[in-house]
Amino acid sequence: MRESKSLRDARVAARTYEVALPPQQRKRLGQYFSGLKLGKLLAHLALDSQFRSVLDPMAGHGDLLDATWEAASERGIPLDRLDAIEIDETTAATCRSRLAHTSGRTQPGQAIIAADAFDPASIEKLPRRSYDLVITNPPYVRYQSRNTDGIAAARIRAGLVAIISACLPDEETTIWRELAEGYSGLADLSVPAWLLAAAMVRPAGRLALVVPATWRTRDYADVIRYLLLRSFSLECIVEDKQPGWFSDALVRTHLIVARRLSEKDTAQPLTARTHFPNALWLQVAPEAAAAHSLVGASFAEHAPDRQFAAWVRSGCNQSRCGITTHPFDLHDEWAALERRITRRSWYQALEGRRDDLPLFQTPRQTSRAVVPDMLRSVLPDGFSPDALVTLEEAGVSVGQGLRTGCNKFFYVSARGPASLGMVRVRASSSFGHREFFAPADALRPVLRRQSEMKSMENGSLPDGRVLDLRGWVLPEDFRIVDEAREAYGLNGEMLPQSMPDELATYVRLGATAPPAGPDDDKRIPDLSAVRTNVRLPRNAQITPRFWYMLPDFAPRHLPAAFVPRINHGLPWTEANLESPVLIDANFSTFWGLPKGLTRCALKALLNSVWCRALMEALGTVFGGGALKLEATHLRHLPVPVLSDAAIAQLTTAGRQLTKTTAELQSRIDAIVLDAFLPGTASLASRARFVRALAGRANDMSRARQAA
């Protein structure tokens, strides 16, 4: 379609406006816009010849609505409505000016509302209560950046519940209200935004979204996965491949298209459904793109985005350069999700499972560990998921390492062994690498980064130290401590000591140092994760704490084993030392091992070809090709139930295991696979399975690292 000069000028003006947006405003409001090429690809996938009304409730400067109008014009679909809500007045005005230049056989009616989409009054201003197509890019904004006391989060939730009650029929309101009232308070703004957008889709209409690939891995987004299965028929997910559509993005992008189910279908709980519709998962590589379209090289004919959408609707009946496809099994998606959510109150209310849940969660007869799609094709004959449980079900706790709130202050490096109870340490570059003496019992060994893992593998301490000042106070703070002597006695705590001079000088310097450099107005004690260290003695039972005193360390900070959260090569899990050291938040951590399982056995298990391939398949691929492994991925890692004999063998192997001990690796793989493969499997078939797993893991690793 030929672009008119007025529309071209309006698009240029919108892009110029976007580039000029202040970075702080973009971060605060989530103003990272989709772009016309991506929007047009999504619009063609989502449009139907019968659709007449379109809404973007978080419209920005109009990329997605502009793209939808152009896609509809290419296909001869006469739109009646092109409506939007945008929270920022100036951005809404830019959107309004841009869309005023759309034209065609008929000019669609437009209502571009400058308001908060979570205010029920904003929805009242729209000409419709539901739309044929709702297309949007939900803002990924932390509530903390909007309001630190939770008022914003409560207001958004209340507004969403009111909108649901006003816009949805009574038969469905209960389901949507339960999800709106039940999603986690830790969720970012994208979760209520997604719920709002979905609620505005009419039955048989479509929801079309631009989202980060992390949407399926965040615990707080489980309500979204449930909603897509309960109230929608998920049709396709389109994923960009390295380096991706947004080269500066931290994570890859997914386009999601789903059709809204009828009230009757939505009313049926997922546990009662015996059939789930088919869905497609597509990956689009950079070589599929041309200057004018993200798939222009794969569909060189006229209107490549339209041709791509037709190809997807036909079932992708022939291969295309740069595009891979595979079925997305929604039955398995539900099986994987249900294992995660059985203790959630909204699950119990909506699926009628409240009465049959045990006091302590155990896998139900109908649940099973889920092997990721990417590994299913290499599973041998006779494989049964019943032989597997998740790592969490096996009794292993998974979390994240230590966050100090300001590593540049709390982390120092040891410059030698202790002498007369003192250790010489070096501070970070933020403090000019100054060196000073600190009491040995005010320092705790810590693994800070991946480059230090080699020392742990060799059984030696890294040189990192955490300033653990819970037993030390500045001389000027000792008066407060002295006045609280009674509280220390009641709590069985030792009275802190007064810091020696060199340590006190460093702490005083930290109190006045700007954390982000000389232009920063804040000081380290003012940082949100540091100021919570302060505890004032409001009565005779409370002992004081000061900003330089870290909270008590938890088991996740002193784990049995750990794996980097960001991995460039294949993930490698290391065991902690026998006297465990603190592990930084750069690592996901494992602790609370069930009786019999040792740290060395866990290391061996998690470094088996089976677990490393699973980590590759379950992690989130970042824009730069790195693999992010969060606790939410690792808790659901399918592992075999190990016998005492297998654990003993893995313990022996794990003590000696390094990245270069190939013979030990083979022995570990055999122990792990023997625990869940059928006894009828031959040695040759097991060897083929090991080779297939290793090959698939290496292929996935190379693919994400490819530039």
Q: How many CA atoms lie within 13 A of 466 on its CB side?
A: 28
> Which of 300-314, 321-335, 350-364, 560-574 comes out lowest in average pLDDT?
350-364
The stretch 51-66 carries a mean pLDDT of 94
The stretch 493-510 carries a mean pLDDT of 96
Please give the Cα distance from 321 to 295 (Å, whole number). Answer: 9
- Say if residue 78 is preceded by a cis peptide, omega within 30 of 0: no
> How wide is the angle at C-alpha 114 spanned by C-alphas 111 and 119, nearest 5°?
100
pLDDT of residue 366: 41
Please give the Cα distance from 572 to 546 (Å, whole number). Answer: 38
Task: Evaluate whether 455 touches 575 at the Cβ level (below 8 Å).
Answer: no
Please give the Cα distance from 304 to 325 (Å, whole number). Answer: 18
- Using the predicted structure, report yes or no on whether residue 364 has a pLDDT greater than 60: no
pLDDT of residue 542: 92
> pLDDT tier at 27 (50, 70, 90 boundaries)?
low
pLDDT of residue 34: 62
Average model confidence (pLDDT) across the chain? 88
Measuring CA to CA, how many Å separate 294 from each of 12, 285, 319, 496? 20, 9, 17, 63
- DSSP SS3 for 296: coil
Q: Tokens 């302060």 map to which residue?
A: 534
197-251 pLDDT tens trace: 999 999 999 999 999 887 887 777 899 999 999 999 999 999 988 666 765 555 6
pLDDT of residue 32: 56
Q: Are strands 582-583 and 587-591 parallel, antiparallel or unpaired?
A: unpaired
447-475 pLDDT tens trace: 999 999 988 888 889 999 999 999 999 99
> How wide is the angle at C-alpha 44 spanned by C-alphas 43 and 48, nearest 5°?
95
Please give the Cα distance from 508 to 498 (Å, whole number). Answer: 13
- Using the predicted structure, report yes or no on whether residue 682 has a pLDDT greater than 80: yes
> How wide is the angle at C-alpha 130 spanned by C-alphas 127 and 134, nearest 5°?
105
pLDDT, greater one: 20 or 443: 443
- Using the predicted structure, report yes or no on whether residue 707 has a pLDDT greater than 70: no
> pLDDT tier at 660 (50, 70, 90 boundaries)?
confident
Please give the Cα distance from 668 to 689 (Å, whole number). Answer: 14
The stretch 371-385 carries a mean pLDDT of 84
pLDDT of residue 24: 62
> Which of 26-30, 84-88, 400-404 comes out lowest in average pLDDT?
26-30
Please give the Cα distance from 280 to 330 (Å, whole number). Answer: 10
pLDDT of residue 12: 72
Please give the Cα distance from 294 to 287 (Å, whole number). Answer: 9
pLDDT of residue 368: 59
pLDDT of residue 65: 94
Q: How many CA atoms lie within 13 A of 493 on its CB side?
A: 21
pLDDT, greater one: 22 or 83: 83
pLDDT of residue 383: 86
pTM of the model: 0.77
Please give the Cα distance from 30 to 86 (Å, whole number). Answer: 11
Query: Would you list the DSSP string of 72-83?
Result: HHHTT---SEEE
pLDDT of residue 243: 63
Query: Phi/psi at 156 (nearest 5 deg)?
Result: -65, -45
- Of all residues in the chain, the percent with pLDDT exceeding 70 is 90
The stretch 150-169 carries a mean pLDDT of 89
- DSSP SS3 for 132: strand
Please give the Cα distance from 607 to 665 (Å, whole number). Answer: 8
> pLDDT tier at 603 (50, 70, 90 boundaries)?
very high
pLDDT of residue 1: 53
The residues facing 563 across adjacent strands are: 588
The stretch 21-48 carries a mean pLDDT of 75
- Say if residue 23 is preceded by a cis peptide, omega within 30 of 0: no
> pLDDT tier at 648 (50, 70, 90 boundaries)?
very high
> Which of 142-146, 183-187, 291-295, 575-579 comes out lowest in average pLDDT?
142-146
pLDDT of residue 168: 92
Structure tokens at 429: 């570059």
> Which of 206-215, 332-341, 357-366 comes out lowest in average pLDDT?
357-366
Please give the Cα distance from 258 to 328 (Å, whole number). Answer: 13
The stretch 581-608 carries a mean pLDDT of 96
